[in-house]
Chains A and B, each alone.
Chain A
Amino acid sequence: MREIFVAIMLLLGSGSVIANEYPTNETVHFALRCMDELGGQTEENLYTCACRYDAIREAMTYSDYEEGYTFERNKKMPGEKGAAFRDNERGKRFYEVLLKAREAANASCIVVKHVKMVKPTVVEHQRK
Chain B
Amino acid sequence: MSKLSIKNCLIALLALGLSTSVLANDEVRKLNENPNYWAFPGGDYNNWRYTELNQINTKNASKIVTAWTFSTGRLQGHEGGPLVLPSSATGLSGDTLYIHSSFPNDVFAISLDTLEIVWYFEPQQDEAETVPVMCCDIVNRGLGYSMGQIYLQQADTTLVALSAKDGSVKWKAENGRDIGYGPAAGDTNTNAPHPMKDKVITGCSGAEFGVRCWLAAFNAKDGSLAWRAFSMGPDEDILFDANTTSLGKKVGKDSSLKTWCTNADWKAPARGPSKCKGLSDAWKSGGGSTWGWWPADFEENLVYYGSGNPSTWNPVVRPGDNKWSMTMFARDIDTGVARWVYQMTPHDEWDYDGINEMILADIKVKGKMTPALVHFDRNGYGYTMNRKTGALLVAEKYDPAVNWSTHVDMKTGYPQTLDKYSTHHNGEDVVSKDVCPAALGTKDQQPAAFSPRTNLFYVPTNHVCMTYEPVSYAAGGNQYTAGQAYVNANLTMYPAGAVCPDCPNNNSAKDNMGNFIAWDAGTGKIVWNIVEQWSVWSGVLATAGDVVFYGTLDAYAKAVDAKSGKLLWKFKVPSGIIGNFNSWAHKGKQYVGILSGIGGWAGAVVAIPGLAAAPGEAALGAVGGYRKLLNSSRNSGVLMVFSLP
Residues of A within 8 Å of B560, CB to CB, are: none
Residues of A near B604 (CB, < 8 A) are 33, 36-37
Chain B residues with CB below 8 A from A36, complex form: 604-607
B135 on the A face (CB < 8 A): yes
Stretch binding the partner chain, chosen from A7-15, A50-58, A65-73, A106-114? A65-73
Say whether A32 contacts B576, CB under 8 Å.
no
CB-based contact A77/B598 at 8 Å = yes
B535 close to A81 (CB less than 8 A)? yes
| A90: Cβ under 8 A from any B Cβ | yes
B444 lies within 8 A of A35 (CB): no
Q: What does the 1/0 interface line of A57-89 toward B look like (CB < 8 Å)?
A: 000000000110010111111111111101111
B137, B511, B576: the one contacting A90 at CB < 8 Å is B511
User: Cβ of A81 and Cβ of B136 under 8 Å apart?
Assistant: yes
Taking chain A's interface residues, is the majority helix, strand, or loop, or is none over half, making it mixed? helix
B616 interface contact, C-beta 8 A: no
B residues within 8 A CB of A88?
A: 494-495, 513
Tell me if B493 and A87 are in contact (CB < 8 A): yes
Is the beta-carbon distance between A79 and B493 smaller than 8 angstroms? no
Q: How far is the CA of A78 from the CA of B77 in the complex (A)?
A: 9
On whether the beta carbons of A29 and B554 are closer than 8 Å, the reply is: no
Complex interface bits, B136-149 against A, C-beta within 8 A gives 1, otherwise 0: 11000000000000
Indicate whether B489 reaches chain A with its CB closer than 8 angstroms: no
Contact B464 A83 (CB under 8 A): yes
**A77 near B137 (CB under 8 angstroms)?**
yes
Distance (Å) between the CB of A53 and the closest chain B CB?
14
Q: Quick check: is A25 within 8 A (CB to CB) of the other chain?
A: yes
Do most interface residues of chain B lie in helix, strand or loop, or is the interface mixed?
loop
Q: A35 to B608: give the CA distance in the assembly, Å.
A: 11
Using a Cβ–Cβ cut-off of 8 Å, how many residues does chain A contribute to the interface with B?
Answer: 32
Q: Find chain A residues with CB under 8 A from B135 CB.
A: 79
Nearest Cβ on chain B to A19's Cβ, whole angstroms = 20
Which listed residue (B77, B464, B572, B608) contacts A84, Cβ 8 A?
A: B464
CB proximity of B642 to chain A, nearest CB, Å: 15
**A29 touching B553 by the CB < 8 A rule?**
no
Chain B nearest CB: distance from A71 CB in Å?
9
A84 to B136, alpha carbons, bound, how many Å?
Answer: 13
CB distance from A79 to the nearest CB of B (A): 3
CA distance A88 to B494 in the complex (A): 6
**Do residues A32 and B77 form an inter-chain contact, with CB atoms below 8 A?**
no
Task: Give complex CA distance A76, B576 in Å.
Answer: 13
A40 CB → nearest B CB, Å: 7
Contacting residues of chain B (555-583) with chain A, CB-CB under 8 angstroms = 555, 572, 575-576, 578
B498 and chain A: residue at smallest CB distance: A89
Are A29 and B136 neighbours in the complex by a CB distance under 8 Å? no
A41 part of interface (Cβ distance < 8 Å): yes
B548 interface residue, CB < 8 Å from A?
no
Could you say which residues of chain B place their CB within 8 Å of the CB of A78? 136-137, 599-600
Contacts of B367 in A (CB 8 A): none
Q: How many residue pairs bridge A and B at CB < 8 Å?
A: 102
A80 CB contact (under 8 Å) in B444, B598, B600: B444
Contact call A32/B607, Cβ cutoff below 8 A: yes
A74 with B533, Cβ < 8 A, contacts A87-B492, A88-B513 known: no
A26 to chain B, nearest CB (A): 8
The reply to whether A84 and B440 contact each other, CB–CB distance below 8 Å, is: yes
Whether B12 is near chain A, meaning CB under 8 Å from some CB there, is no
Q: Which A residue's beta carbon lies closest to that of B574?
A: A29
CB pair B438–A83 under 8 Å, yes or no, is yes
* B534 interface residue per 8 A CB criterion: yes
CB atoms of A70 and B553 under 8 A apart: yes
- 1/0 per residue, CB under 8 A from A, across B52-91: the answer is 0000000000000000000000000100000000000000
Proximity bits, B486-525, A CB within 8 Å = 1, else 0: 0000011111000000000000010101100000000000
A23 within 8 A of B: yes
Q: Does B180 contact A (CB under 8 A)?
A: no
Residues of B within 8 A of A33 (CB): 603-604, 606-607
Which residues in A have their C-beta under 8 angstroms from that of B22? none
Chain B residues near A70 (CB, 8 Å)?
534, 553-555, 576
Q: Are A32 and B608 in contact (CB under 8 A)?
A: yes
Cβ contact within 8 Å between B598 and A83: no
B325 at the interface (CB under 8 A from A): no
Q: Which residues of B contact A75 (CB under 8 A)?
A: 600, 602
Let me know if B439 is at the binding interface, CB within 8 A: yes
Q: Which residues of B contact A35 (CB under 8 A)?
A: 607
Contact of A81 among B444, B511, B575 (CB under 8 A): B444
B609 at the interface (CB under 8 A from A): yes
| Complex contact A74–B598 (CB within 8 A) | yes
CB neighbours of B511 from chain A (8 A): 89-90
Asked if A74 and B493 sit within 8 Å, CB to CB, the answer is no
Please report which residues of chain B, range 75-123, place their CB below 8 angstroms from some CB of chain A when the two chains form the complex: 77
Considering the complex, which residues of chain B in the window 588-645 have a beta carbon less than 8 Å from any beta carbon of chain A? 598-609
24 of the cross-chain contacts (CB-CB < 8 Å) are A29-B606, A32-B606, A32-B608, A36-B607, A41-B609, A66-B554, A70-B576, A73-B575, A73-B600, A73-B601, A75-B602, A78-B137, A78-B599, A81-B535, A81-B537, A82-B600, A83-B464, A84-B440, A84-B513, A87-B494, A88-B494, A88-B513, A89-B494, A89-B511
The 3 closest A-B pairs by CB, nearest first: A79-B136, A36-B607, A80-B440
Interface on B for A, CB 8 Å cutoff?
A: 77, 135-137, 438-441, 444, 462, 464, 491-495, 509, 511, 513-514, 533-535, 537, 553-555, 572, 575-576, 578, 598-609
